[in-house]
Amino acid sequence: MPPPTAALSVPSSSSPSLFPLSSFSSSNNPHVSSFCPAPTTLPKFSSLSKPKTPLRNLTPLSAVSIEKETLISERPHTFLRDADGGDDGSVRSRFQRMILEAQESVCSALEAVDGAGKFKEDAWTRPGGGGGISRVLQDGAVFEKAGVNISIVYGVMPPEAYRAAKAAADDQKPGPIPFFAAGISSVLHPKNPFAPTLHFNYRYFETDAPKDAPGAPRQWWFGGGTDLTPAYIFEEDVKHFHSIQKKACDKFDPSFYPRFKKWCDDYFYIKHRGERRGLGGIFFDDLNDYDQEMLLSFATECANSVVPAYIPIIEKRKDTPFNESQKAWQQLRRGRYVEFNLVYDRGTTFGLKTGGRIESILVSLPLSARWEYDHKPEEGSEEWKLLDACINPKEWI
């Protein structure tokens, strides 16, 4: 039977920039120096002009961007440079504290629900400042693979990475751009096909003036989101998940949930398949048109909403009996996950183009996935219903 037909067109330019911490964790994202003035006064970014020299003749991006990380046996008190770490009230310092606390709370909740698996932790620093912590639980009782990474990054973005980092912009920034980035990123892949995959990522990004444009204003923005990718639809689960996202958004602005829900549906679009990766959630990026304190509180609220949005679903579905056919369908959907992350995800491409830590960049990929030639679920089946919802996004609440 043919797959469901699309009833919704998605603009080709609908994908905003995303920097999952996986890309952060070794050289991934955003910006630099002390935070900047009120967001309403900031100009918008624009695409960079194309390099006049073919890329094959340029210095490798990894050589221009971020220093090589050094693994350490114990995590430091802070990953911030001395110039930043002394001010506990700065946005950089408070965002670092938030992501460290979120990593701890999420990992504790996941270990508790798994019951057997424990997170392996790798920590690293860089000579010029910054570093990160990758935590991965693999082959647990409930989770096939769960990664929760945090990263603090100082570096210089070459033009290619800047284009990957910024989805839209109005001003030309020709040269390498110093940046500071901090974020948390996680992808959770359960074993049971009735238990959904979850992704969340929250980040703060600053850029300094390019070296060839001294005196240009410093830029900052927030980005992030939380989204659900099930292989099978349980409407009560999806409604619960979306209701938690809406509750977090409504505390700050009632327009946030509908706006960021659509943004999420549009961003996680697999163009070559004509379908979304999953059933959405919220997603936002380049957000600097609100008060900086408000956006910091909003990002914190969203990160704190991950556990109540996801853990009740996992507890309900982790022991549901399943057969080989249902497991195979989960693996096919995992294949879609891989396709999106490697082809379209800006965080992944940003990390690869800036010489990031590969194990952290690719931590979002599942242990196993499946591709079958010309696979089409039977019309009306549970598998077909999932595919239909990925092609035609729904309003769940």
Active site residues: 199
What gap in Å lies between CA 310 and CA 333, rounded to an integer? 19
- Is 339 in a helix, a strand, or coil? helix
User: How many CB atoms within 10 Å of residue 182?
Assistant: 29
| Six-digit token string for 280 | 């959405």
Cβ proximity of 363 and 134 under 8 Å: yes
What gap in Å lies between CA 46 and CA 317, rounded to an integer? 45
What gap in Å lies between CA 397 and CA 394, rounded to an integer? 9
What gap in Å lies between CA 86 and CA 83, rounded to an integer? 7
Residue 228 identity (one-letter amino acid): L
What gap in Å lies between CA 354 and CA 348, rounded to an integer? 10
- In which region does residue 21 sit, left (phi positive, over 0), alpha (psi from -120 to 50) or beta (all else)? alpha
Which residue bears the tokens 């853990």? 311
Which residue bears the tokens 């990593």? 103
Beta bridge partners of 229: 197
Cβ proximity of 169 and 45 under 8 Å: yes
Nearby residues of 261 by Cβ (< 8 Å), 6 or more positions away: 242, 245, 280, 281, 282
Radius of gyration of the chain (CA): 20
- Say how many CA atoms lie within 13 Å of 35 toward its Cβ: 23
DSSP 150: E
What gap in Å lies between CA 170 and CA 235, rounded to an integer? 41
Read out DSSP for 155-184? EEE-HHHHHHH-S--BB---S-EEEEEEEE
